Amino acid sequence: MIAETVKWIGGADGVLEMIDQRRLPTEFVTLRVRTVEQLHEAIRTLAVRGAPAIGVAAAYGSVLALQWLKSPASTQDALNHAVRACEYLATSRPTAVNLFWALDRVRSRAKEIASEPQTTPQQLAEAILAEANAICAEDIEMCRQIGENGERFIHDGFGVLTHCNAGALATAGQGTALSVVFDAHKKGRRFEVFADETRPLLQGSRLTAWELQRAGIKVTVICDNMAGFLMKQGKIQAVITGADRIAANGDTANKIGTYSLSVLAKHHGIPFYIAAPSSTFDLSVESGAQIPIEQRNATEVTWIGSTHVAPENVDVCNPAFDVTPAQNITAIITEKRVIENPNEDRIRALLG
């Protein structure tokens, strides 16, 4: 495993450990999260980020919440406490559906267990921990299967372009888009990855390049505005990214800049793949138009590190995600199978 991005240590009285992704690649530091407030802050400030990783981390939130319950408490008190933690964590970031999917799972399981006669608060905490551990284990397995299902799309001699970070750091396992890359590499295929730096927070240059270097895969960092030029020069044979939310019709929200890449790829006749687990699909939204897009702080754009790179008080637009229409997507690689030319019928057939 390239990185253990989120890891629960111990039993119901344990602690959530995560790699602090704000500090990579210059420092490798882990963070121990002991309260729901710290977890909310870690997600909001991108200490932990990437749709599946956010979901897995948030799943442990209710276990942390119950550690702070004043005893003696009734099981109903404990349940209320756990549910409130889920509601609070759901306000940390709006776009990645994995967050809401994981919190819904934990909340349903907590309600189910609490409704059984004689359940104690301790048993409730243990049941929630078991559910969070299951979500984490499933994510690891889904990542593995995505790699297996997608590696055939990367051939010898390819230039593969990726955007943001959809690797181990974005999941509990070996990533989604990068899982495909890792598996192609394991099969002995020789290719090069171009990592968009991914302004404004540089997940591509800071995180994707770090992961690929550690895995011994040839990686070249480019500024986001260089992709079209490289495509025109014939250096890119496939584009592959992750996803934060996929609507019922296949429209896909991912890191800002993904949409532009899909347009460029279509123009140059280059296949454009999305790699995502089924936890990233949201069949309750019909199209990308209904996916909420996170707007982030202007300072992410006007500052790079400690350097001010724009005039004081200039207006800034900083959407963290955009939506790629299904028509621009060659295929969605999931843990179940690959959906070519995604549309609502094909997606519903896969997910039921």
The residues that touch ligand MRU, with contacts defined as CB under 6 A, are 46, 49-52, 96, 164, 166, 170-171, 175-176, 203, 241-244, 254-255, 320
Q: Do residues 290 and 348 touch, judged by C-beta distance below 8 A? A: no
State the Rg of the chain over Cα: 20
Residue 33: CB atoms within 10 A of its CB come to 23
Using Cβ positions, the residue closest to ligand MRU within the complex turns out to be 242
Residue 207 beta carbon to ligand MRU: minimum distance, rounded to whole angstroms: 8
What is the DSSP code (8-state) at residue 259? Answer: H
Q: How far is the CB of 254 from ligand MRU (least distance, A)?
A: 5
Report the residue number, 49 or 185, with the smaller CB distance to ligand MRU: 49
SS3 category, 6: strand
Q: Measured from the CB of residue 165, what is the shortest distance to ligand MRU in angstroms? A: 6
| DSSP-derived secondary structure letter, 191 | -
Instruction: Tell me the C-alpha distance between 79 and 201, whole Å.
Output: 37
> Active-site residues: which are they?
244
Residue 203 or 334 with smaller CB distance to ligand MRU: 203
User: Which CB, 320 or 332, lies closer to ligand MRU?
Assistant: 320
Residue 254, Ramachandran bin (φ over 0: left; ψ between -120 and 50: alpha; else beta): beta
d(CA 139, CA 187): 22
Are 151 and 185 in contact, with CB atoms under 8 Å apart?
no
In the 8-state DSSP scheme, what is residue 219?
Answer: E
SS3 string, 177-190, reads HHHHHHHHHHCCCC
Judged by beta carbon, residue 94 or residue 175, the one nearer ligand MRU is 175
Q: Smallest distance from the beta carbon of 203 to ligand MRU, in angstroms?
A: 5
Side by side, which strands form the sheet with 219-222?
219-222, 192-196, 159-162, 238-241, 272-275, 331-333, 338-340
Shorter beta-carbon distance to ligand MRU: residue 78 or 275? 275
CB 332 within 8 A of CB 338: yes
| Closest distance of CB 261 from ligand MRU, Å | 12
Considering the complex, state which of residue 50 and residue 250 has its C-beta at the smaller distance from ligand MRU.
50
Residue 34 near residue 15, CB atoms below 8 Å: yes
In whole angstroms, how close is the CB of 230 to ligand MRU at the nearest point? 20
